[in-house]
Amino acid sequence: MAKAMARHILVKTMAEAQAIKDRLDKGDAFDKLARKYSTCPSGKKGGDLGEVRPGQLVKSIDNVVFNKPVRMIHGPVKSQFGYHLVQVFFRD
């Protein structure tokens, strides 16, 4: 069965997600921004979601984790919880 390691930052608005993505693009550290801004409990761990399998995450995030290129920052991706920035470390 497929699995992946990923991290994410969850915020309330598209504008906030885009502002954080702009900072990431300029080289700010993902884990520091996750700890500061993410509303998900994973923010305390730098946004680390650990090892996940298909179907464990909400559909829009699951789609990114298992279908988009690894090591890139994807998003903002909308879910019922808000807007996510997602980075996949590896997938097999």
Total-model pTM: 0.95
Q: In 3-state terms, the chain is what percent helix, strand and coil (to 5)?
A: 35, 35, 30
Identify the H or E element spanning 62.
helix 59-67
Domain 4-91 part of CATH 3.90.550.10: no
Mean pLDDT of the chain: 97
**Residue 86 pLDDT more than 80?**
yes
For residue range 36-80, what is the model confidence (pLDDT) as tens digits?
Answer: 999 999 999 999 999 999 999 999 999 999 999 999 999 999 999
